[in-house]
């Protein structure tokens, strides 16, 4: 993936490097765009950055998680023989309707992910892995006017006062 941040209408070029270690050919590669939301029953001072159950400070009854597919599954037919490696690219267009930017608050955490899959010959289902992406503006785009402090300056600002010399 060339970037982790996208907007509705963007085309994402996904580079698959498929290492087929199985005895059957790989017949399809696919990608699904999904949106997921994590809800809290009461406001939290620290928003959840992750969507997993165990990283949330609230218990089972205090949190909720939803995930749904956006648009259709993007699939490309391939033929990757057993015990071989092949690079494949898949272009996925993020629908214009995807307008809600990724955000975190004390009540709701909202985000996006790609489910990237390979389907072997004779298999009904694809095996998926997930890749987190963000919808919205890249950080730094909007605060271009703010003075930038380099790491060196920051270190200098935090540096201890010079040693006392009588």
Sites of contact with Zn ion (CB under 5 A) = 48, 56
Q: Estimate to the nearest angstrom the gap between the alpha carbon of 103 and the chain centroid.
A: 13
Q: Is the dihedral of CA 97, 101, 102, 108 positive or negative?
A: negative
Minimum Å distance from CB 8 to Zn ion?
26
> In the 8-state DSSP scheme, what is residue 133?
E
Which H or E element spans position 152?
helix 151-157
Residue 56 or 116: which CB sits closer to Zn ion?
Answer: 56
Question: Which of 95, 109, 94, 72 minimizes the C-alpha distance to 1?
Answer: 94
The residue (of 26 and 56) whose beta carbon lies closer to Zn ion is 56
Residue 118 pairs with which residues in a beta bridge? Answer: 29, 127
Least Å distance between CB 157 and Zn ion? Answer: 35
State the minimum distance, in angstroms, from the CB of residue 40 to Zn ion: 5
Query: Whose CA is closest to 7, among 108, 131, 112, 89?
Result: 112
Residue nearest to Zn ion (CB): 56
Nearest approach in angstroms of CB 74 to Zn ion is 30
Least Cβ distance, residue 51 to Zn ion (angstroms)? 8
Residue among 46 and 150 whose Cβ is closer to Zn ion = 46
Smaller CB separation from Zn ion, 48 or 135 = 48
Q: Measured between alpha carbons, how far is 14 from 35 in angstroms, rounded to an integer?
A: 18
Q: Are 128 and 115 in contact (CB under 8 A)?
A: yes
Q: Which CB atom, from 55 or from 89, has the smaller least distance to Zn ion? A: 55
């Amino acid at each position: 993936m060339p970037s982790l941040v996208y907007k509705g209408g963007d085309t994402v070029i996904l580079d698959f490097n498929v290492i087929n270690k199985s005895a059957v050919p790989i017949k399809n590669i696919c990608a699904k765009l999904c949106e997921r939301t994590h809800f809290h029953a009461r406001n939290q001072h620290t928003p959840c950055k992750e969507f997993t159950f165990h990283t949330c400070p609230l218990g089972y009854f205090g949190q909720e998680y939803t995930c749904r597919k956006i648009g259709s599954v993007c699939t490309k037919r391939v033929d990757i023989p057993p015990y071989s490696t092949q690079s494949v690219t898949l272009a996925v267009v993020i629908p214009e309707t995807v307008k809600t930017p990724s955000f975190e608050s004390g009540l709701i955490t909202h985000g996006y992910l790609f489910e990237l899959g390979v389907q072997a010959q004779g298999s009904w289902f694809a095996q998926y892995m997930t890749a987190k992406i963000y919808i919205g503006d890249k950080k730094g785009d909007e605060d271009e006017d703010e003075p930038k402090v380099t790491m060196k300056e920051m270190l200098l600002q935090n540096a201890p006062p010079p040693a006392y010399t009588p």
